Structure 1
Amino acid sequence: MTQEAGGRLPSGPAGPGLYGECLFRPQDEGEAARVDLGALVYDATTFARLQQLGVGPGMRCLDVGAGTGTVARQLLREAGVAEVVAVDRDIRFLAAEPVAGLTALEADASGPGFSPGLFDLVHARFLLMHLPSPARMVERLAALLVPGGVLVLSDAVDLTTEGAPRTPYTTAMRAMWRGLRETIGTDVSWVPSCPRLMVAAGLEAVAAEIHVPPLVPGSPMSRFWAGTWDRARAAMVGTGLVDEAGIDEAKQCLESPQFAGLSPGMLTAWGRRAVPPTTPS
């Protein structure tokens, strides 16, 4: 069983629900557009890293928690991979835009019996932070790699720590993280441990990087957070850290040219499954 440094398993989510059930439901109006705002921000960074890791023609890829499918389709259209199996618990957004080589698989990757085969690339973005046992999920995904295959995982890093200035924005962001944990179990506290979890899962050449997109008025990033807060208002207010007026004030910060703040970062970690040594004939 994979463990953090010091022998402690990452705690994982504690909330009673799941992402996509009481919050961020795919069937809600505008949810696909909200998700795509995030894709506009992060897809270029994700794709550049995948290309640097050698993802390209002939590869079979698994995209877990594929959402609206922007990464999966980019792998097929621009990297020229042979196939992408795109997994999500709800595949309505994937099925809405079929692409040659894209297989949409409706499944819970954390559930028993998930065994889609072996892949040259396994990728998941903003998924493990919503799951009950991220350490076990790293193990499970690493086991789906062919020898030499690469696992690439991205999740959010909270930068509104206690040392950050107290502003309407940081107050709202802290309320969001706590509210999401209490309702759907989202937990980003373990994310900096992701590279160590990959090492513990037996992967080699493990490394990581953090991308922090700027908060610019009218930008996809600012619009994404405003839309996310609107959907999570009840959970945020329920923490007692912020009220409705405070959320509205935080949204005004996102649209102010005078505001200077840090969006949550995206930590991306990667590692490769070892290639067994060849036996001399």
Structure 2
Amino acid sequence: MTTSPPTPSPYLLGADDEERRRLLFQAELLREDTHALLDRLPLSGGERVLDVGCGPLGIMDALSARVGEAGQVVGLDAEPRMIEMARRTVAERRLANVSLATADAADTGLPRSSFDLVHTRLVLMNVPHTDEVLDEMVALTTPGGTVAVQDVDWLTRVCEPPHPSWDRLVTAIAELWRRNGMDVTLGRRLPGMLRRRGLVDVRVRASTHVFQHTDPYQTLLIDRARLCRSALVEHGLITDAELDDHVGALSRHLDDPDTLVVHATLFQAWGTRPATT
């Protein structure tokens, strides 16, 4: 008996203009990591590639440049508002070889074995059907093609000096993710997940970023707590009053020039779908 993939949970971080700005900033923040990954992949131009969960940009601009005019980039997202944002970005940046599609990452409806590279970044940690998404990505990849995944692991998510409000919000948000079927420690397991799907020559790379009080991502944890306020309170993980107290205390702590924030570790893993014999 076959079963349908579970219905994805709503994207907990929203899909408004503020989230578009955050995701575009994130794309710039991770640009060096993006190119470090693409430098290790077999892209010489003319390939057909897919960016799963592209949001307003993802890595479509970098892919567009790598595959060139003879190549094709498809950006896919389940959220129609994200696709509308992506259309704006693609038009603004004149990415002529980029097209967009709206579909669930676990059930894209795209032709099997039709992409030389299938990539996703910061999607798997935010969906409850990670296994189904990875299965779909492998199925969409041509034999001999590459599957590449990027996701974070909260093993390095700390502030220095430590602060109890930081620890309280990290714990509450991680538990919210767990209750929604998601995992904030996914990154370290990505290579094994690729190998279990039969990929070969699996490789891994990891990096992180450190922020100071003048960096926009210094307050990312606070921003996330505010965006998830309703869900956190509804699940009984924190009260409105407690959330306000911790946000206020942590905001003051993070505004201190001596406070550093170490971001979650970004894991990049990639492997080859074996060629048919």
Query: What band does the TM-score fall into relative to the shorter chain?
Result: 0.7 to 0.9
- Change in 2 beyond 3 A, CA 1:126/1:51: same
2:86 is aligned, of 84, 89, 94, to 94
3-state SS of paired residue (1:52): coil
Does 2:207 correspond to 1:211? Answer: yes
Q: 2:255 corresponds to which letter in structure 1?
A: E
Q: 1:41 corresponds to which letter in structure 2?
A: L
Q: 2:237 corresponds to which letter in structure 1?
A: T
Distance 2:254 2:55 in 1: 25
Structure 2 equivalent of residue 131 of structure 1: 127
Distance 2:208 2:221 in 1: 14
3-state SS of paired residue (1:96): helix
Structure 1 equivalent of residue 31 of structure 2: 43
Higher helix share: 2
- 8 A Cα contact 1:169 1:251, kept in partner: no
- 8 A Cα contact 2:47 2:67, kept in partner: no
Asked which structure has the greater RCO (Cα within 8 Å, sep 6+), the reply is: 1
Q: How many residues align?
A: 257
- Change in 2 beyond 3 A, CA 1:252/1:84: farther
5 Å-filtered alignment, 1:158-173, equals: 158-159=154-155, 167-173=164-170
Distance 1:128 1:122 in 2: 14
Structure 1 runs not aligned, ≥5 long: 1-12
Does 2:171 correspond to 1:174? Answer: yes
TM-score under structure 1 length normalisation: 0.80
- 8 A Cα contact 1:160 1:170, kept in partner: no
Structure 2 equivalent of residue 149 of structure 1: 145
What are the Cα deviations for residues 218-254 of structure 1, in whole angstroms up to 9, with x where unaligned?
2242254443232123334541395211023223333
- 8 A Cα contact 2:157 2:261, kept in partner: no
Structure 1 equivalent of residue 259 of structure 2: 259
Structure 2 equivalent of residue 7 of structure 1: none
Q: 1:92 corresponds to which letter in structure 2?
A: E
- The two structures, once aligned, show a CA RMSD in angstroms of 2.7
TM-score under structure 2 length normalisation: 0.82
3-state SS of paired residue (1:266): strand
Structure 1 equivalent of residue 21 of structure 2: 33
Does 2:26 correspond to 1:58? Answer: no
Structure 2 equivalent of residue 193 of structure 1: 189
Structure 1 equivalent of residue 3 of structure 2: none
Structure 1 equivalent of residue 244 of structure 2: 244
Q: Percent identity?
A: 26
What are the Cα deviations for residues 9-64 of structure 1, in whole angstroms up to 9, with x where unaligned?
xxxx9xx97233xx3222x3412112222222223202221122132411110000
2:74 is aligned, of 54, 73, 85, to 85
Distance 2:265 2:251 in 1: 19
Q: 2:98 corresponds to which letter in structure 1?
A: L
3-state SS of paired residue (1:74): helix
- 8 A Cα contact 2:24 2:57, kept in partner: no
